[in-house]
């Protein structure tokens, strides 16, 4: 390996300084990368929950990717949870245990369907949770 040298013949980066510089550069790159890919904080494993699991279906009865899904308790006005359907059209949201009704719907503002068609929500879906169970549902879109 050729070491860059000054006109006086001394190395441009003495070995110890060069190693420190390289280490500092590597740390400055690694720290932001590790923090941006950090997993979300896990929920307490001992705390029970119910799960609303659903699929967004298009007019052709195929699952639809990238649709914003909103969920709220039936007795509230604003959405408490917002999430997006995955590549299988699926979504899942943990909700508190206990008897409650939830409304699930698709927010299609700004959504562009792959075929260019304007899609609309057929209707909100009501999901009843009684205890710590999983409830499956479907959100259907129409042209």
Instruction: Give the domain CATH number at 57.
Output: 2.60.40.1120
Instruction: Establish if 16 belongs to a structural domain.
Output: no
- At 131, the pLDDT band (50, 70, 90 cuts) reads very high
CB atoms within 10 A of CB 29: 10
Residue 143, both tokens: 């042209």
Is 101 or 18 the better-scoring residue by pLDDT? 101
Q: What pTM was estimated for this model as a whole?
A: 0.67
Beta carbons within 10 angstroms of residue 50's beta carbon? 20
Is 12 part of a structural domain of the chain?
A: no
Chain mean pLDDT for the chain: 84
Structural domains of the chain, count: 1
What confidence category does residue 80 fall into, taking pLDDT thresholds of 50, 70 and 90? very high
Show the domain range for 59: 50-142
Decide if pLDDT at 69 tops 90.
yes
């Amino acid at each position: 390996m050729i070491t860059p040298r000054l006109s006086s013949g001394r190395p441009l980066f003495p070995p110890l300084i060069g190693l420190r510089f390289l280490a500092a550069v590597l740390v400055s790159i690694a720290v932001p990368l590790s923090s941006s890919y950090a997993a979300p904080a896990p929920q307490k494993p001992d705390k029970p929950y119910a799960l609303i699991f659903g699929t967004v279906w298009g007019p052709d009865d195929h699952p639809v990717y990238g649709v914003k899904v909103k969920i709220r308790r039936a007795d509230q006005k604003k959405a408490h949870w917002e999430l997006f359907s995955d590549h299988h059209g699926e979504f899942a949201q943990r909700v508190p245990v206990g008897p409650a009704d939830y409304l699930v719907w698709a927010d299609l503002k700004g959504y562009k369907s792959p075929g260019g068609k304007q899609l609309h929500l057929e209707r909100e879906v009501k999901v009843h949770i009684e205890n710590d169970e999983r409830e499956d549902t479907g959100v259907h879109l129409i042209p």
